[in-house]
Amino acid sequence: MSYFKGVKCIRCGRPLGDDPFYEGCPACKAEGVGVNFTTTYDLTGAKLPGQNVQPGLFRWREFYPLPDDAVPVSIGEGNTPLLKLERLGEKLGIENLYVKDESRNPTMSYKDRLCSVIITKARHDGVPAVTMASTGNHGAAAAAYAAAAGMPCVIFTIPQVPDTMKTLMQAYGAKVIVTPTSLDRWTIMGQCVRELGWMPVSGFMSPAIGSNCYGIDGYKSIAFEIYEQLGNAAPDFISVPACYSDGLYGTYKGMADLVEMGYLEKVPQFVGAEVFGSLEQTIAAGEENPKVVPSDWSISFSIANGQCTWQGLEAVRKSGGYARSSNDKETMDMQLLLASTEGIYAEASSVTSLVALAKLAKEGKIAPGQKAVAVLTSTGLKDPATTREHLPAVPTINPTMDELRAALKDSYGVTI
């Protein structure tokens, strides 16, 4: 039986009532602040479940806002590895560096966790279709889980999204539509939600508040898995790529659940890894509400936004954490360093979590012996063309040792 109790505003605590859960708190909106709702639970006497109770991340279903008779929409998500990075950790000055490799999920990103939960709810609620705005990972996950649920899925995206991402979304059966701008996606998506009764899988409010608050709880499973994988303990830091901060906030909620149940004394310090620094600058300025900062296109396009969300600030502030940003060069350098030292090819936006930890280590914020986990949200195979631009051309040779020596030296700087 689910421990789910209700829904309230993250900022002011106002209960949901008859308001649409996907449009954020109307009381805060009236004050000029966009704030998402969040689910609440009664964890009195709650315990973590045993092994293999439900498929995938539904092992933790008591901690999701799902009716007891909702049949899980699962295609094997969750249970991703937590890997210690000895060589990279030494280079970055972090003795105990780990990554949670979410590229091992069915659609190769951590968005599967959110989509599995929310599409389970959508099918149970009998909605006619699901819809969302996405630059790729979220859309691919929604399309795959909608296919598994036998539900129509319509995704709105933008022209700059790589063809690989569009192909992936369409391959799962989604109807993918391109609009001129990001805001245009939200405009038409909102009309579909309000006029057609479609279930929103992502957010569509401006300014952004985050995604469907029911689905965000799917990310709590990341916290539960990390806790078990570290021998029933928590790391000192968890770094998560952050734009609208669904994953950051959902993972924070999972750790907060563990504290409330008595498994942990405190939550880890959460690190929001950004591109343009809205979280970082908002916190540095001591401002209460999300700050707008200059933004542009980035190779980390899935987290390239100029304004953070209240839920992201909540996770960082409540945990006593940090936010750090990374530019395209830092990101690409880290992507190639991770791949060449540890054999993990992660998406550009994913490795911002490592860039942020590297900066904190350099600043002396991570003490020797402390454990830090970087969440790698997706695989580099989602956008190999960008990586290709930062690699030397592959030489073609005749099968002679002289030509091999010349090619290795000219292309790779290697002498044999």
CA 254 to chain centre: 14
Q: Which two tokens stand for residue 238?
A: 């968890």
Nearest to 37 by CA among 246, 194, 286: 246
CATH code, 272: 3.40.50.1100
- Pairwise CA distance, residues 171 & 384, whole Å: 18
- Predicted local confidence at residue 162, as pLDDT: 87
Contact 290, 357 (CB under 8 A): no
- Predicted local confidence at residue 349, as pLDDT: 97
- Pairwise CA distance, residues 252 & 377, whole Å: 15
Q: Is residue 161 part of a domain?
A: no
Number of domains the chain is built from = 1
Nearest to 227 by CA among 249, 257, 248: 257
Domain that holds residue 258: 82-108+213-389
Q: What is the mean pLDDT of the chain?
A: 96
Beta bridge partners, 131, equal 154, 200
Q: Is residue 186 part of a domain?
A: no
Q: Is residue 319 part of a domain?
A: yes
Contact 157, 218 (CB under 8 A): no
- Residue 13 CB partners (closer than 8 Å, separation 6+): none
56 or 283, which is more confident: 283
Q: Is residue 266 part of a domain?
A: yes
Which amino acid makes up residue 60? W
Q: Is residue 332 part of a domain?
A: yes
Q: Is residue 316 part of a domain?
A: yes
Nearest to 372 by CA among 277, 274, 270: 270
- Predicted local confidence at residue 56, as pLDDT: 82
- Pairwise CA distance, residues 202 & 150, whole Å: 19
- Predicted local confidence at residue 4, as pLDDT: 98
- Predicted local confidence at residue 170, as pLDDT: 97
Q: Is residue 223 part of a domain?
A: yes
- Predicted local confidence at residue 28, as pLDDT: 97
Q: Is residue 160 part of a domain?
A: no
- Helix 137-149 crosses helix 163-171 at what angle (to 10 degrees)? 10
- Pairwise CA distance, residues 68 & 51, whole Å: 19
Beta bridge partners, 96, equal 371
Residue 54: band (very low, low, confident or very high) from pLDDT cuts 50, 70, 90: confident
Nearest to 222 by CA among 99, 336, 74: 99
Give tens-digit pLDDT for 378-414.
Answer: 999 999 999 999 999 999 999 999 999 999 999 999 9
136 or 232, which is more confident: 232
Nearest to 224 by CA among 4, 6, 116, 64: 64
- Pairwise CA distance, residues 167 & 339, whole Å: 25
- Pairwise CA distance, residues 394 & 408, whole Å: 10
Strands (E), 226-321: 237-241, 269-274
For the beta carbon of residue 305, count every other beta carbon within 10 angstroms: 22
Are β-strands 96-101 and 82-84 bridged in parallel, bridged antiparallel, or unpaired? Answer: antiparallel
* HSE (side-chain half, CA atoms, 13 Å) at 361: 26
Which amino acid makes up residue 273? A
Q: Which two tokens stand for residue 321?
A: 């954490």
* HSE (side-chain half, CA atoms, 13 Å) at 258: 26
Q: 55 pLDDT exceeds 90?
A: no
Q: Which two tokens stand for residue 20?
A: 């649409």
Distances (CA, A) of 273 to 83, 169, 324, 344: 19, 26, 5, 19
- Predicted local confidence at residue 212, as pLDDT: 95
- Predicted local confidence at residue 52, as pLDDT: 67
Q: How much of the chain, in percent, has pLDDT values that exceed 90?
A: 95
- Pairwise CA distance, residues 233 & 165, whole Å: 36
Give tens-digit pLDDT for 159-198.
Answer: 988 899 999 999 999 999 999 999 999 999 999 999 999 9
